[in-house]
Amino acid sequence: MSMNVGSPDADGPSVMATINTTPLVDVMLVLLIIFLITIPVITKTVKVDLPRAVNIPTTTKPENITIAVGKTGTIYWNDKQVGTLTDLINQVKATAVRKPQPEIHIRADKEARFEFVGRVIYAIQRGGVVKVGFLTEPDHGIRGSR
C-alpha cells in the first residue's frame, strides 16, 4: 500500500487524480463485522416446543360415516349410492343432530374432478357436521419417478 504525496519538483501542492480506496475498504470491513456480530443478538424468537408429527393411521369407529366420491361423480353414503345432492344434504342434517356428532370421512377417487368433491364438502357444510376428514392411501415411497 502506497501513498501519493505529490511530485518533488513542483512548488505547490498538486491535485491527485486517483481515489484512495483503502480507507473505504477498511471501514466497510469493520461495518460488515459489526453487522455479523449484532444481527444474531437482535433477532429474538419466542421459545416454543413444537409438536412432533407422526402419521398415525385413522381408527374408524362404527359411528363414523364414510362418503365416497366416484370417478364420474357418483356419491356413496356408507356403500349405498345417494341419488342427488339434496338427498345427501338431508342425510347429513339427520346425522348432525346425533350426540356425539359423528365424523364424516371423504374418500374420493384420484381421477374424480375437484368439482364433485367440492359439492360434497358444501353439502356437509350445509348439513351442519363439524368434523370432516379425507382418507388417502399411504405413500410407500416415490412411485413413477421421472
- 122: CATH: 3.30.420.270
Domain presence at residue 11: no
Q: Using one digit for the tens of pLDDT, what is the confidence trace for 94-121?
A: 998 988 888 998 888 888 889 999 999 9
Long-range contacts of 119-124 (CB under 8 A, 24+ apart): 119/85, 120/67, 120/69, 120/75, 120/88, 123/85, 123/88, 123/89, 123/92, 124/67, 124/92
Domain presence at residue 99: yes
Domain presence at residue 23: no
Task: Give the number of domains in the chain.
Answer: 1
Q: Can you give the pLDDT at residue 89?
A: 92
Q: Can you give the pLDDT at residue 123?
A: 93
Q: Can you give the pLDDT at residue 38?
A: 82
Q: What is the Cα–Cα distance from 146 to 142, expressed in whole angstroms?
A: 10
Cα-Cα-Cα-Cα dihedral of 140, 109, 122, 135, to 10°?
-30
Q: Which domain holds residue 126?
A: 65-134
Q: Can you give the pLDDT at residue 145?
A: 46
Lookup: cell for 143: 412411485
Q: Can you give the pLDDT at residue 62?
A: 66
Tens-binned pLDDT, residue by residue, of the chain (146 aa):
555 565 556 566 677 778 888 999 999 999 999 988 887 776 665 555 555 655 666 666 668 888 989 888 899 998 889 988 999 999 999 998 988 888 998 888 888 889 999 999 999 999 999 889 888 776 655 554 44
Domain presence at residue 16: no
Contacts of 133 (CB under 8 A, 6+ apart): 58, 103, 104, 105, 106
CA-nearest of 113, 106, 114 to 88 is 106
Domain presence at residue 140: no
Domain presence at residue 22: no
Domain presence at residue 57: no
Q: Can you give the pLDDT at residue 64?
A: 85
Domain presence at residue 93: yes
